[in-house]
Amino acid sequence: MSLVTAIPANLELAHTQLLHCELCEHRCGANRVAGERGPCKAGTEARVFRHRVECGEEAELVPSHLFYLSGCDLRCAFCIAEANAFDPSRGRPLTRDFFSSAVAWGRDQGARNVQWVGGEPTIHIPAILDAMQGVKNLPPIVWKSDFYGTPAAFDLLKDVVSVYLADFKFGNDECANRIARVTDYVRIVTRNLKRVALESDLIVRHLLLPGHYECCYQPIVNWLCNELPYVKISLRDGYMPRWQAARLTELATPLPRGDGDRARHYAMERGLNVLE
């Protein structure tokens, strides 16, 4: 199925989610059309709090035109987007006209793709599909996500997304619950990673967190070695304490010097495809 036919075919089904939302694994069932709000607080409208062409992403993606949507299903204490990530009322409405004009501008700036980021785009799939439907010659779509979505959400993205950029944040459920306020995290994320690896290009990104090398980073690498040894992994070592990170002792300081090199050596030693 082509992108031209996939978006409208998926859009009708996506709108049913607004009546009983199960796009993320909170599975709140909120009727967003009637004004009910789940943990993400999102309604029927998506909002863009920033969009720009960036060259700080993975080399194979840049220049990439990033659209930052407000609202998220996680509550990561260290979120770099801070309040913008969690308040879905921030930014300007994502409409077909706005998106079409923005994509044309991004193409003029040399963007190779459109990248949906957050917050978390999964909670806004209906609005995103609707906005993209009005664009001719739509660039390849990169989906940067926390991968806490449901199978129903990923069904809606099938044949639409060219590259998945997955933030694999935590290597165990205890850290995920304590830092991001989500449950059953590892099972859900790994289930989704295995699925999309069969459908599209996949890059797994991990932000190294201070104090979480043994409990989070090593289990993630070990799982990838066992389950998706061919996948591309992108390690980020630029952690800085932001948002509410100071409430967690180990996250209140920057990443110690040398942790990035140690992490890369470990992944490469295990045979993973580590992106530069």
Q: What is the mean pLDDT of the chain?
A: 96
Residue 276's pLDDT band (cuts 50, 70, 90): confident
Model confidence at 258: pLDDT above 90 = yes
**Spatial distance between the Cα atoms of 38 and 18, rounded to a whole number of angstroms:** 11
Residue range 29-49, pLDDT digits in tens: 999 999 999 999 999 999 999
**Spatial distance between the Cα atoms of 229 and 270, rounded to a whole number of angstroms:** 9
**Spatial distance between the Cα atoms of 61 and 65, rounded to a whole number of angstroms:** 10
pLDDT value for 61: 98
Residue range 86-130, pLDDT digits in tens: 999 999 999 999 999 999 999 999 999 999 999 999 999 999 999
Whether the link from the prior residue into 63 is cis, omega within 30° of 0, is yes
CATH code of 44's domain: 3.20.20.70
Residue 73's pLDDT band (cuts 50, 70, 90): very high
pLDDT value for 136: 87
> What phi and psi, each to the nearest 5 degrees, are found at residue 206?
-135, 125
What 8-state DSSP symbol labels residue 254?
Answer: P
Helix 185-196 and helix 173-180: axis angle, to 10°?
A: 100
**Spatial distance between the Cα atoms of 39 and 73, rounded to a whole number of angstroms:** 6
Segments forming the whole domain that contains residue 156: 3-274
Which structure tokens are listed for 42? Answer: 């999102």
Cβ burial of 189 (10 Å; 0-12, 13-18, 19+) is buried
Radius of gyration of the chain, Cα coordinates, nearest whole angstrom:
18
Cβ neighbours of residue 155 closer than 8 Å, sequence gap 6 or more: 10, 13
pTM for this predicted structure: 0.96
pLDDT value for 274: 98
* Closest by CA position to 132, among listed 11, 272, 229: 11
Residue range 123-176, pLDDT digits in tens: 999 999 999 997 988 999 999 999 999 999 999 999 999 999 999 999 999 999
| DSSP per-residue string spanning 93-131 | E--HHHHHHHHHHHHHTT--EEEEESS-GGGGHHHHHHH
pLDDT value for 8: 85
Cβ neighbours of residue 233 closer than 8 Å, sequence gap 6 or more: 203, 204, 205, 206, 221, 224, 267, 272, 273, 274, 275
- The CA distances from residue 104 to 101, 135, 138, 234, 262, in Å, are 5, 9, 9, 29, 42
Residue range 95-105, pLDDT digits in tens: 999 999 999 99
Model confidence at 2: pLDDT above 70 = no
Q: How many domains does the chain contain in total?
A: 1
